[in-house]
Amino acid sequence: MTAPRPWKPWRKGPVPREWRGEARLERMAQDGYLAGVTQTWANEWFAVMARPVATPWGEVTHVLIRDLPNTPVRDWNDLMRIKDELFGAWTVAVEVYPSRRDVIDEANMTHLWILPEGFALPFGLHHNPRLASSRASEEPAT
């Protein structure tokens, strides 16, 4: 495991200035999925937005992540740290690769979906159905 890159604390606030001038993002903010954004955070590396989405599983949080130079955000450690710091170490998040017909690729963003509190995936690298409920009560490692 590599050492995490240093970053400053998150600032809550409006969508970063760097995003506001982009016409396609302005369009999405008016009538696309950005219209439902209710929370935003930024630091010197990333800008993060979140919006609630009602689903049959309960409320899911759609998280939109962009780095400020507008390059792909693909470092798993960065994404995990963002999830942990902003939404909690014991939340479960997924990244979706939809069918080709459902792809929307209009902005250089990474999308995570934070599942409802207490949700446990029925699969995983360490999945053992008998242990799934006991893991929820463990303290996160520091």
Predicted local distance difference test score (pLDDT) of residue 4? 79
Residue 129 lies in a domain: yes
Task: Give the mean pLDDT of 109-114.
Answer: 95
% of the chain exceeding 90 in pLDDT: 46
Residue 100 lies in a domain: yes
Per-residue pLDDT for 116 more than 50?
A: yes
Residue 140 lies in a domain: no
Using 50, 70 and 90 to split pLDDT, how confident is the model at 121?
confident
Predicted local distance difference test score (pLDDT) of residue 142? 45
Using 50, 70 and 90 to split pLDDT, how confident is the model at 127?
low
Residue 37 lies in a domain: yes
CB 53 within 8 A of CB 59: yes
Residue 98 lies in a domain: yes
Residue 1 lies in a domain: no
Residue 113 lies in a domain: yes
Domain hosting residue 61, numbered range: 11-135
Per-residue pLDDT for 141 more than 70?
A: no
Per the structure, how many domains does the chain have?
1
Residue 66 lies in a domain: yes
Beta strands in 21-124 (DSSP E): 39-42, 46-55, 58-67, 93-94, 110-114
Close Cβ partners of 5 (under 8 Å, ≥ 6 residues apart): 45, 78
